[in-house]
Copies of this chain bind each other. A is one copy, B any other.
Amino acid sequence: LEADDIARARALTLDLHEADLADLIEVLRQDDRAALIAALGDEFKAAALPELDEAVRDQVLEDMPPEQVAEALQELDSDEAVYLLEDLDREDQEDILSKLPYFERIALQRSLEYPEDSAGRMMQTDLIAVPPFWSVGQTIDYMREASDLPERFYEIFVVDPAYHLIGCVPLNRILRSKRPTEMEAIVDETMHPIPVAVDQEEVARQFERYNMNSAPVVDPDGRLVGVITADDIVEVVQEEASEDILAMGGVGGESMVDTVWETTRLRFSWLVANLITAIVASIVISFFEATIEQMVALAVLMPIVASMGGNAGTQTMTVAVRALATHDLGPANAARVIWRECAVGLLNGLLFAVIMALIAYFWFGSDGLGLVIGVAMVVNLFAAALAGILIPLGLDALDLDPAIASGVFVTTVTDVVGFFAFLGLAALWLA
């Protein structure tokens, strides 16, 4: 951006929605980002900051003077302010916090003390809570006069003098009740309050299970400390799904804005794990060098057995990992699912045994070779099913994330079993 373009850029961006403004900032070069934000000055929409991609966001926040960041934080809802602060380093955090008024500072500091990815980090602390003996009229008058209300809210919470949560009253119920009605009379006590330390994945599950649009957050003593709304849950679900997909593909923790070096480093360790797997498989093959020398067709066909096992194992594993993540697989149905996977593995094993036996027979004109590859196929597809279901279940039982490590273990099993069954049977047949 040239100096003389600034005014025009300013005019063009003033009316943008924060999400669109964020997109614009992302495509600019680093210098231009700071120039644009400086040009917008007080009119810069703070709401655009949480919409920025993580890497860009941290860079923009570092380039902004702490005073301006502090002002921006005050414009934002408390959950978004926490979201901006949590990734900054300790020093920058304190620099910015020190510029905030007392109450905002205390509130943000308290939120930052909750564990990462917990309900306490996600929640919005601006909310409306009233005592049970207030009337609907009193509550409405209070809302008309209060100046520091949250921007959006969908219910009023009812609390006792010690701020213990009694229940909530959706706004539509307040609107439909007569002014003298006591809040106590219309309060809904069948909520699902969320403990403040619970992980965001569990929070999302509660929202999904009970189709909630918002939920109160309580501390261990049952005191109301915040509220979480469904729009935040949409982001959590998307984020958790991305984490699982990337972990299963061996690219956990990556982002689209990582540099070549970061990406290379992140992928390297996964590829090392895979290299070890592949070498184990090669060692198995090396036991049978003499057999392969006797009949080189074995070298041609052996990757087929391993590859089919790898794919069948990945199929079973994918279903198991996803079902564990969505809690559709658990102790209640594990036995039934294991049985089903074994049966499917055996059936597909038999089908592909016949197909491959025929292919091998017609290709190499040897019925013995057909029989060998057929039996190896059944064995490996059955092993693939067992590994595909038992490895994720085992990792989950050990409280490890099945999405991350299942793949390496499953393909190790299918490679080793595949090469061993095929070459071993061939050695027996040729002997």
Residues of A participating in the B interface, judged by any CB pair closer than 8 Å: 17, 19, 27, 53, 140, 143-144, 149, 152-154, 170-172, 174-178, 190, 204, 207-213, 229-231, 233-235, 237-238, 241-242, 244-246, 248-251, 254, 256, 259-260, 263-264, 267-268, 270-271, 274-275, 277-279, 281-282, 285-286, 289, 292-293, 296-304, 306-308, 311-312, 314-315, 317-319, 321-323, 326, 328-329, 332-333, 337, 340, 343-344, 347-348, 351-352, 355-356, 359, 411, 415, 419
Whether A250 and B315, one on each chain, are in contact in the complex, defined by CB atoms closer than 8 angstroms, is yes
Q: How far is the CB of A386 from chain B (nearest CB, A)?
A: 15
B-side contacts of A178, CB under 8 Å: 144
20 A-B pairs with CB atoms under 8 Å apart are: A143-B175, A144-B175, A152-B170, A152-B172, A175-B175, A207-B231, A208-B234, A241-B244, A256-B319, A264-B351, A267-B344, A268-B351, A271-B348, A275-B355, A278-B303, A279-B359, A282-B301, A282-B304, A285-B300, A293-B296
Taking A241-B245, A267-B315, A281-B303 as given, write out 17 further A-B residue pairs in contact, using a Cβ cutoff of 8 Å, ordered by the A residue number. A144-B175, A171-B171, A175-B175, A211-B231, A230-B234, A242-B326, A245-B321, A249-B315, A249-B322, A270-B311, A271-B311, A279-B359, A285-B300, A289-B297, A293-B296, A298-B299, A303-B306
Copies per complex?
Answer: 2
Question: Which residue of the partner chain B has the closest CB to A263?
Answer: B344
Whether B254 and A234, one on each chain, are in contact in the complex, defined by CB atoms closer than 8 angstroms, is no
B-side contacts of A171, CB under 8 Å: 154, 171-172, 175
Measured in the bound complex, the distance between the Cα atoms of B238 and A302 in whole Å is 39
Question: Which residue of the partner chain B has the closest CB to A328?
Answer: B256
Whether B318 and A19, one on each chain, are in contact in the complex, defined by CB atoms closer than 8 angstroms, is no
Whether A144 and B231, one on each chain, are in contact in the complex, defined by CB atoms closer than 8 angstroms, is no
Nearest 6 CB-CB pairings of A with B: A249-B318, A241-B241, A230-B230, A299-B299, A171-B171, A278-B307
Measured in the bound complex, the distance between the Cα atoms of B307 and A306 in whole Å is 11
B-side contacts of A298, CB under 8 Å: 299
Whether B279 and A299, one on each chain, are in contact in the complex, defined by CB atoms closer than 8 angstroms, is no
